[in-house]
Chain A
Amino acid sequence: MSALEQTPPTSSTLERPTLSLRGVNKSFGAVQVLHDVHLDVYPGKVTALVGDNGAGKSTLIKSIAGIHPIDSGTVEFEGKPVQLNGPRDAARLGIEVVYQDLALADNLDVVQNMFLGRERKRGVVLDEASMEEAARDTLTKLSVRTLKSVRQLVSSLSGGQRQTVAIAKAVLWESKLVILDEPTAALGVAQTRQVLDLVRRLADTGHAVVFITHNMVDVFEVADRVAALYLGRVAADVPISEVDRTQVIELITSGRSGELGLASDALED
């Protein structure tokens, strides 16, 4: 029922990216925001998407989420070419985005928020029992221990707990790819810890995770791969083991770092 129950990824599925972008371009009017973007996101791995403000991170995730359909290029999902022309296309494939502002209704409880818009029903009556069980199962499998009650109103939750609920909501559906937009941006130390643990567990349960952040500590804490965007181009998309902190910062700020990064002619135009 839940995507968490999938069998653990085997070595063959590890080879195949869940999402694969090739030569993706996107313009808003005369402004080209994404240039020839190549990106691979693997199941069971956390890919940190880094880049300065205006580098195109938001546009990229909105393209993947179907909110801004791409102009040209190909998108492959689990090896098959797909068209993402709307949020529904993305949701149908199993792509879930957790936006920075979380989009939770304060006056509803945890279960009600997790099932919002996709309530389970028996006839016309809401099936509260089955929704509560499924929500509890999902939270349990993500080892979320910080919630006192799944029937707690979201208004009574802390920032970290709200982030947890938003992530669990994304996982509840048969999601294969979860995109997190700066999930630790407004959190304290302990709460950041909780959320990073949760991000790790998302990957460990077989999800492909894209994790947008500005925080280098978070990147090296939790990511398996790092993709750096510079002025709308992917400067590097490499395993985390091949780069260090200084290199990532150079990639973000100048698009190049030693052997890595964009060729100098690409940087000039």
Chain B
Amino acid sequence: MSSNTLTAAEASGPHKPAAGFEGDQRDNTVGGAVRGYLNKLRAGDLGALPAVLGIVVLGILFTALRPDTFLTPLNLANLLVQSTPIIVLAMGLVFVLLLGEIDLSAGVVSGVCSAVLAQLLVQAGVAWPIAVLGAIGAGAVIGVFTGSLVGIVGIPSFVVTLALFLGFQGVTLRLIGQGGTVPVREPVIRALANENLPVTLGWILAVLVVVAYAAFELWRWRSQRARGLAHQPLLLVVLRIAVIAVVVFGVTAILSVDRALAAAIDLAGIPYAVPLVVVLLLVLTFVLSRTSFGRHVYAVGGNAEAARRAGINVTRIRVLAFVISSSLAAISGILATSRLSSVTPDAGAGNTLLYAVGAAVIGGTSLFGGRGRARDAVLGGLVIAIIANGLGLLGVAAYLNFIITGGVLLLAASVDALARRRAATARR
């Protein structure tokens, strides 16, 4: 170990390294962390960068093109609610993509589950919690089926889910009926996307989220430093907390403004769907990064043979990933139902799945497996929603809408493939 790294280590913390691992100490300085990040970018791991850039650039673009309508509280609230079904569907897809598999049926599974929800509410007349559980349960059962065909029978996932993509459209059609639309007027379901948290409660939740995040990050930083473990510099931790605080408080502030077009109505507060997505984000992030199940998902996606030899039940992980994907597709279906207040026979078909895959990939999840996080779905979902929303405001022709969205997905997949190639060459 050279003398200059020793001084850096001493300056950064009370713990002296036992031997080697200069990098663990060097990373503790801001310069080291920045260098580490640049190295990661150079090695092809772009992380959240494309999605954040996308949100900023598209935001500026649409604000410039539609200054009166795009950046208004009403449109931003709409945009957020529009993005929630995409985000939740993409969150489920992240699990499947992490394994290097694909679930082309996720969109239509969300359609089947919303049809189940509608049938339970309207035909059977059950209470909403039972209908919601029924829809999610239907998703889970479908996930077991898909996962077993992929994990146990061993059919490539794109074939299984392509077949199911067709098949489940038939199921939805059968449940809803040709040409029919089942209106869902259940107040709680409708409220998800159409009603808002009281403004005060919104602020209380926002403060709680930021304080809890800050407390957790600072506590982790302190305990890592005290035990002489690899940790980030304090400045970076504080910066991250600051960014989260600005985003959370900023969104809360915008959504707390009265955005009603008519003066007589009072329309303010965070739509209920938003905290639901935040809760899902926290839970799934916890599962992926802090539990052994999550660790095993990454391991199977990175090297299935290594995972098998390490004693991990690879089949179980595969099946569970599809169960999670389909269950989240059900929740996505419920959110979509709430937004439309109805279920149509083509629910979840069309470009629903493409939007969700695009969201996950734009957010930084690799199509080749092994790399991805729950937050990718949120960032990428926002990009997709901004594109859909902005193009809608511009009033572009439907054909252009398809071409542009397809182009964005292709662009994201290219970035992913190039990043992977870079990572492969960087190793040699």
Within the complex, the shortest CB–CB distance from A235 to chain B, in Å, comes to 31
In the complex, are the beta carbons of A103 and B224 less than 8 A apart?
Answer: no
Per DSSP, chain A at the interface is: loop
**A119 contacts the other chain (Cβ, under 8 Å)?**
yes
Among A135-143, A190-198, A224-232, the stretch in contact with B: A135-143
Given contact pairs A129-B223, A132-B230, A103 touches B303 in the complex (Cβ within 8 A): yes
In the complex, are the beta carbons of B227 and A105 less than 8 A apart?
Answer: no
A44 to B299, CA, bound (A): 33
In the complex, are the beta carbons of B302 and A126 less than 8 A apart?
Answer: no
**B298 contacts the other chain (Cβ, under 8 Å)?**
yes
CB within 8 Å of A: which B192-235 residues:
223-224, 227, 229-230
In the complex, are the beta carbons of A129 and B27 less than 8 A apart?
Answer: no
In the complex, are the beta carbons of A103 and B295 less than 8 A apart?
Answer: no
**Of A87, A108, A121, the contact of B302 (CB 8 Å cutoff):** A108
Name the residue on A nearest B1 (C-beta): A145
In the complex, are the beta carbons of A133 and B23 less than 8 A apart?
Answer: no
A62 to B21, CA, bound (A): 34
**A234 contacts the other chain (Cβ, under 8 Å)?**
no
Given contact pairs A116-B306, A148-B21, A107 touches B311 in the complex (Cβ within 8 A): no
In the complex, are the beta carbons of B302 and A107 less than 8 A apart?
Answer: yes
A-contact bits for B296-314, CB 8 A (1 contact / 0 none): 1011011101110111100
Given contact pairs A108-B299, A117-B311, A149-B27, A156 touches B426 in the complex (Cβ within 8 A): yes
Name the residue on A nearest B18 (C-beta): A140
**Of B20, B43, B230, B370, the contact of A144 (CB 8 Å cutoff):** B20
In the complex, are the beta carbons of B24 and A125 less than 8 A apart?
Answer: no
In the complex, are the beta carbons of B302 and A129 less than 8 A apart?
Answer: no
Measured between beta carbons, the chain A residues less than 8 angstroms from B4 are none
A112 to B295, CA, bound (A): 8
Within the complex, the shortest CB–CB distance from B99 to chain A, in Å, comes to 12
A156 to B229, CA, bound (A): 20
In the complex, are the beta carbons of B24 and A149 less than 8 A apart?
Answer: yes
**A221 contacts the other chain (Cβ, under 8 Å)?**
no
In the complex, are the beta carbons of A104 and B423 less than 8 A apart?
Answer: no
* Tier of interface size on chain A: 35 or more
**Of A118, A126, A132, the contact of B310 (CB 8 Å cutoff):** A118
**Of B18, B22, B301, B423, the contact of A148 (CB 8 Å cutoff):** B22
Within the complex, the shortest CB–CB distance from A110 to chain B, in Å, comes to 10
**Of A105, A118, A137, the contact of B370 (CB 8 Å cutoff):** A105
**Of B43, B230, B298, B370, the contact of A151 (CB 8 Å cutoff):** B230
**A186 contacts the other chain (Cβ, under 8 Å)?**
no
**A124 contacts the other chain (Cβ, under 8 Å)?**
yes
Name the residue on A nearest B293 (C-beta): A124
**B291 contacts the other chain (Cβ, under 8 Å)?**
yes
**Of A88, A104, A105, A133, the contact of B298 (CB 8 Å cutoff):** A105
Given contact pairs A103-B309, A126-B295, A156 touches B43 in the complex (Cβ within 8 A): yes
Measured between beta carbons, the chain A residues less than 8 angstroms from B224 are 129
In the complex, are the beta carbons of A156 and B18 less than 8 A apart?
Answer: no
Within the complex, the shortest CB–CB distance from A137 to chain B, in Å, comes to 8
Measured between beta carbons, the chain B residues less than 8 angstroms from A128 are 229
Measured between beta carbons, the chain B residues less than 8 angstroms from A101 are 305
**A150 contacts the other chain (Cβ, under 8 Å)?**
yes
A-contact bits for B18-32, CB 8 A (1 contact / 0 none): 111111101100000
Name the residue on B nearest A105 (C-beta): B302
Given contact pairs A105-B299, A107-B298, A125-B290, A149 touches B23 in the complex (Cβ within 8 A): yes
Given contact pairs A117-B310, A125-B291, A108 touches B21 in the complex (Cβ within 8 A): no
**B123 contacts the other chain (Cβ, under 8 Å)?**
no
Name the residue on A nearest B309 (C-beta): A103
Measured between beta carbons, the chain B residues less than 8 angstroms from A117 are 296, 299, 307, 310-312
In the complex, are the beta carbons of B310 and A106 less than 8 A apart?
Answer: no
Measured between beta carbons, the chain A residues less than 8 angstroms from B18 are 136-137, 140
**B292 contacts the other chain (Cβ, under 8 Å)?**
yes
CB within 8 Å of B: which A67-89 residues:
87-88
Given contact pairs A107-B301, A151-B230, A119 touches B295 in the complex (Cβ within 8 A): yes
Name the residue on A nearest B229 (C-beta): A132
A145 to B307, CA, bound (A): 27
Name the residue on B nearest A102 (C-beta): B306
A102 to B310, CA, bound (A): 11
In the complex, are the beta carbons of A150 and B292 less than 8 A apart?
Answer: no
Measured between beta carbons, the chain B residues less than 8 angstroms from A126 are 290-292, 295
Within the complex, the shortest CB–CB distance from B1 to chain A, in Å, comes to 8
**Of B230, B299, B302, B370, the contact of A150 (CB 8 Å cutoff):** B230
A143 to B19, CA, bound (A): 8
Measured between beta carbons, the chain A residues less than 8 angstroms from B1 are 145
Given contact pairs A117-B311, A129-B224, A129-B229, A107 touches B24 in the complex (Cβ within 8 A): no
**A146 contacts the other chain (Cβ, under 8 Å)?**
yes
**B318 contacts the other chain (Cβ, under 8 Å)?**
no
**A253 contacts the other chain (Cβ, under 8 Å)?**
no
**B339 contacts the other chain (Cβ, under 8 Å)?**
no
In the complex, are the beta carbons of B21 and A147 less than 8 A apart?
Answer: yes
**A155 contacts the other chain (Cβ, under 8 Å)?**
yes
The 5 A-B pairs with the shortest beta carbon distances in the complex, nearest first, are: A117-B310, A148-B23, A149-B23, A105-B302, A107-B302
Interface residues of B (CB under 8 A from A): 1, 18-24, 26-27, 43, 223-224, 227, 229-230, 290-292, 295-296, 298-299, 301-303, 305-307, 309-312, 370-371, 423, 426-427
18 extra A-B contacts, CB within 8 A, seeds A106-B303, A150-B21: A101-B305, A103-B305, A105-B298, A105-B306, A116-B306, A126-B291, A126-B295, A133-B227, A139-B20, A140-B18, A140-B20, A147-B21, A147-B23, A149-B22, A150-B24, A151-B24, A151-B27, A151-B230
23 contacts between A and B (CB under 8 A): A104-B306, A106-B303, A107-B301, A107-B302, A108-B302, A116-B295, A117-B307, A118-B310, A119-B295, A125-B291, A126-B290, A126-B295, A129-B223, A133-B229, A137-B18, A143-B19, A145-B19, A145-B20, A147-B21, A147-B23, A148-B21, A149-B27, A155-B423
